[in-house]
Structure 1
Amino acid sequence: MSCLRAIAHIRTDLPQKFGIPRNSFLAPHLQGRIVFEPEFALESAVAGLEFFSHLWLLWQFENGTPGGTAADIAPDTATASRPGTNDAWSPTVRPPRLGGTERVGVFATRSPFRPNPIGLTCVALDRVERTPDGPVIHVLGADLRDGTPIYDIKPYIPFADCHPEATGGWIEKNPWQELDVDFPESLRTIVDADKLPGLIEVLRQDPRRAGAKHDPERVYHLAYAGHDVAFTVDNTSLTVVSVG
């Protein structure tokens, strides 16, 4: 039986779990670069890819890798005990969309705490860059931590993958509450202009752990594009207080 192996890794502006969007396209301006392993960094392997607008990524969850602070990470289930499996997986999880308090079946969610740590993400293809070390795929809207292993890349095919009649189950009854972001102009200028829209989208999605009691005076820290972005949240209003 053959083993899965990474063909590439993605480089993103989010080095920790804290702040990663809970689904792709919740932060559509988030930038990512897919860098192939040398064995797969072949021009012939991506021939024709640039004619597609969107891609599917198959990738590996890394639940054992901490991010943010311990209080910011949902300790819903134990982490994987060995690569490729999760011996301590739970048949039910507490999705953030339900406030982190109600449980549903793991297979009725996209929770990362699964029997096998396999993720599926749809991203927008920005461009394919040709470099001396092989092609680099630039994407937008990925919900992946920096350095995530990529197992496979497939084109999104509208006539087969788009289903306008699809329903969203329990998710449709529980709309996500976005935050209002107060980001002073003096602090915005510290962040590169092309990185700023993605950062605001991440903050708007509320990086904090769902279901926890939150102190409006508490200062949270988000690692983003080499910056330490500090913010507070009072009810539905998020205020950026510093950018380091």
Structure 2
Amino acid sequence: MDTIATLRSCYGEKFGVPRQSGLVDEAWGKLIFEPHYRNPDAVRGLEGFSHVWLIYSFHHTFNKDGSKREFQPTVRPPRLGGNEKLGVFATRSPFRPNPIGLSVVRLDRIELNSPKGPVLHLRGVDLVNGTPILDIKPYLPYADALPEASAGFAPDAPNQLEIKWECPIPKDFSSETIQLIENTLALDPRPPYQVNSANQREYGCLINGRNVRWMVQDNEIWILSI
């Protein structure tokens, strides 16, 4: 398949990216089309939709030589603490036979006069910066929203931890940047096997181009430095 666009997002590395779309509305992304697809006609009518589906490649899951990883029939979902194995097709793990992802995100606006052609400004993204986009489709509430559907082992949104600031908030931070950082960390990005650890380990996430250092203490996330 062709890569039709690249997503530029507020998340500079995999660690810290929300595990589902829509959990952090402040998580922004800019979809930049590849030269061959920079035709405004290709997005004509898309402005009438509030949300879009993104189909993309999990490009960080490939081996260093560019090959796909060997197929594994089971994975350990973070939602189950990483302790229980489930079939890969019963999860949204990025480690799949074909590393393809699917996310619904909010379409904030379409910039038509950019030097790089149409640019889609998105919110609620769960994608790392540089993600290759394979396709875009409009979200249709009457067909895509099924409130009566069952959700297996993940019936509800994940719990959120309280955020505390140990360091001063940088003066150049807007209120939206503060909310982006707080709402991202509140989802507890730690690997599941470290969640119940007694060790007070320091972590770091690259958010909005800033290295945010933090730790967890008494079920609270303390931001140590920016």
Q: Secondary structure at the match of 1:169?
A: coil
Matched to 2:180, the amino acid is G
Equivalent pair of 1:92/1:106 in contact (CA under 8 Å): yes
Aligned length in residues: 224
1:118 aligns with 2:100: yes
Normalised to the residue count of structure 2, the TM-score between the two structures is: 0.92
Aligned pair partner of 1:86 in 63, 68, 71: 68
Look up the match of 2:81.
99
- The alpha-carbon deviation at position 229 of structure 1 amounts to 0.6
1:151 aligns with 2:134: yes
Look up the match of 2:22.
25
Aligned pair partner of 1:167 in 150, 165, 186: 150
Look up the match of 1:128.
110
1:182 aligns with 2:179: no
Equivalent pair of 1:188/1:196 in contact (CA under 8 Å): no
- The alpha-carbon deviation at position 26 of structure 1 amounts to 1.4
C-alpha distance 7-175 of structure 1, shift in aligned 2 (>3 A)? closer
Q: Secondary structure at the match of 1:206?
A: coil
Equivalent pair of 2:4/2:134 in contact (CA under 8 Å): yes
Matched to 2:76, the amino acid is R
Matched to 1:202, the amino acid is T
- The alpha-carbon deviation at position 188 of structure 1 amounts to 5.2
Look up the match of 1:225.
208
Normalised to the residue count of structure 1, the TM-score between the two structures is: 0.85
Equivalent pair of 2:59/2:132 in contact (CA under 8 Å): no
Equivalent pair of 1:13/1:225 in contact (CA under 8 Å): yes
Equivalent pair of 2:203/2:215 in contact (CA under 8 Å): yes
Equivalent pair of 1:81/1:88 in contact (CA under 8 Å): no
Q: Secondary structure at the match of 1:194?
A: helix
- The alpha-carbon deviation at position 150 of structure 1 amounts to 0.2
1:109 aligns with 2:91: yes
Query: What percentage of aligned pairs have identical amino acids?
Result: 41
Equivalent-residue separation in structure 2 for 1:81 and 1:118 (angstroms):
18
Q: Secondary structure at the match of 2:97?
A: coil
Equivalent-residue separation in structure 1 for 2:43 and 2:138 (angstroms):
11
Equivalent-residue separation in structure 1 for 2:39 and 2:95 (angstroms):
33
Equivalent pair of 1:54/1:122 in contact (CA under 8 Å): yes
C-alpha distance 81-220 of structure 1, shift in aligned 2 (>3 A)? closer
Structure 2, unmatched stretches of 5+, are none
C-alpha distance 204-188 of structure 1, shift in aligned 2 (>3 A)? farther
